[in-house]
């Protein structure tokens, strides 16, 4: 869908709203990347709280 928004063959509706949809797609991507990063950091913090564990 994002690929067709960048082509000149898209309908006028898509051309008028393409910047909004592209920004939304970018923001969703950043959100899910951040969410995955945050989950990995939380899991690493839990596994490092043992007496034999080195600092993270």
Has residue 36 got a pLDDT over 90? Answer: yes
CA distance 42 to 49: 11
**DSSP H helix total and E strand total for the chain:** 2, 0
State the alpha helices, DSSP H only, in 1-56: 2-5, 12-47
Beta-carbon count within 10 A of 41 CB: 11
Has residue 31 got a pLDDT over 80? Answer: yes
Has residue 9 got a pLDDT over 80? Answer: no
pTM, two decimals, is 0.53
């Amino acid at each position: 869908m994002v690929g067709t928004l960048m082509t000149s063959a898209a309908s006028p509706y898509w051309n008028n709203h393409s910047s909004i949809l592209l920004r939304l797609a970018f923001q969703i991507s950043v959100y899910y990347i951040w969410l995955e990063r945050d989950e990995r950091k939380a899991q690493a913090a839990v596994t490092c709280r043992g007496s034999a564990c080195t600092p993270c």
